[in-house]
Amino acid sequence: MRILVLGGTAWLSREVVRRALAGGNAVTCLARGTSGSPPSGATWVEADRTSPAAYEAVACTSWDLVVDVARQPGHVRGAVGALAGRAAHWVFVSSGNVYADHRTVGADESATLLPPLAGDVMTDMTVYGEAKVACERLVLDALGTDRALVARVGLIGGPGDEFDRTGYWPARFADPSGSDGSVLVPDEPDLPTSVVDVRDLAAWLLDAGARRLTGTYDVVGPSLGLAEHLDVARRVAGHTGPVRAASPAWLLEQGVEPWMGPRSLPLWLADPDWRGFNARDGARARAAGLVTRPLTETLADTLAWERTRPPDRVRRAGLTADEERALLAALEATGG
């Protein structure tokens, strides 16, 4: 196939390019290159998608497949305007954040969406879901329902996760900060978690594109309780020390953030209105060929990748060792 990836230098799109090249496809990446260069073997068209001339170099080619991961509606508007007539099929990577309700466990693609973002520019992440809804609509309006696939993706994990949401726990269990090997965890054993390995996601996106699969799919990993997820992380890390569980209320009082960011505990969601975010059904994608590897493999491979990273780097999610030690001491002082 002749494949155009709008991106190709960041985590997911780079994995798509790698796999497409490994499959013998001719791959072109259109990107600014601020995240690095595309994988060797791909043709790189350097372009800024905010420019009216961004697509001139690729608009004269017929593409078997276009893959786009954009979050800015203006970028999608420009892309479909220039390329919809040159693309046999279009795969747009959207997000589970497009849904209006994240409380319901087991919801599927029929759930109500947020209103689309009114403008072409998402100015901050608080309207990320609305921006992705607008992007979806632009793709479907331009390509129709017979040439487009929308993949609403859940939490992505695996090697290369620079967001630190899947790497934090195996890395922390492998290198606990407590003097006795203790690790601090949220006392939310049944909170749903779900991770789709970036390699499985990229493989399915390409396979679905090759089969010209159409429609909308929640592309998510299996849902399991936080305690089970942490048990897997602990096993792959070989952790044998104590696990100290703290109540959500106590963690919030100590200024610990849920999900991601500085001074956070990844995968933990404190707001009950988000309890279903990692518990979407996902049956439609599995019926359409999505195959996900065991979480053990994802976390073991992520830990191996973590060990190649600078140990003193600033993480985008999680607690520092000093922060965790202070919290463990404070928890012990309460008798917890």
Among candidate residues 1, 4, 60, the one with its CA nearest the CA of residue 28: 4
- pTM equals 0.97
- Residues 230-246 have pLDDT tens digits of 999 999 999 999 999 99
Question: For the residues 189-211, what does the mean pLDDT come to?
Answer: 98
Question: For the residues 113-128, what does the mean pLDDT come to?
Answer: 96
Helix, strand, coil percent content, the chain, rounded in steps of 5: 35, 20, 45
**Do 2-153 and 160-195+223-277+293-333 come out as alike in CATH topology?**
no
Question: Mutual orientation of helices 198-210 and 11-22 as an angle, nearest 10°?
Answer: 60
The CATH-assigned architecture of domain 160-195+223-277+293-333 is Alpha-Beta Complex (3.90)
Amino acid sitting at position 296:
T
pLDDT category of residue 178 using cuts at 50, 70 and 90: confident
Using a pLDDT cut of 90, give the percent of the chain over it.
Answer: 96
Superfamily for 2-153? Answer: NAD(P)-binding Rossmann-like Domain (3.40.50.720)
C-alpha to C-alpha distance for 329 and 326, rounded to whole angstroms: 5
Tokens 């299996």 belong to residue: 222
How many beta carbons lie within 10 A of that of residue 314, not counting itself? 8
- Residues 260-273 have pLDDT tens digits of 999 999 999 999 99
For the chain, what are the domain ranges?
Answer: 2-153, 160-195+223-277+293-333
C-alpha to C-alpha distance for 271 and 138, rounded to whole angstroms: 31
C-alpha to C-alpha distance for 175 and 253, rounded to whole angstroms: 26
- Residues 277-305 have pLDDT tens digits of 999 999 999 999 999 999 999 999 999 99
Quick check: 46 and 33 in contact, CB under 8 A? Answer: yes
Confidence (pLDDT) at 324: 97
107, pLDDT greater than 80: yes
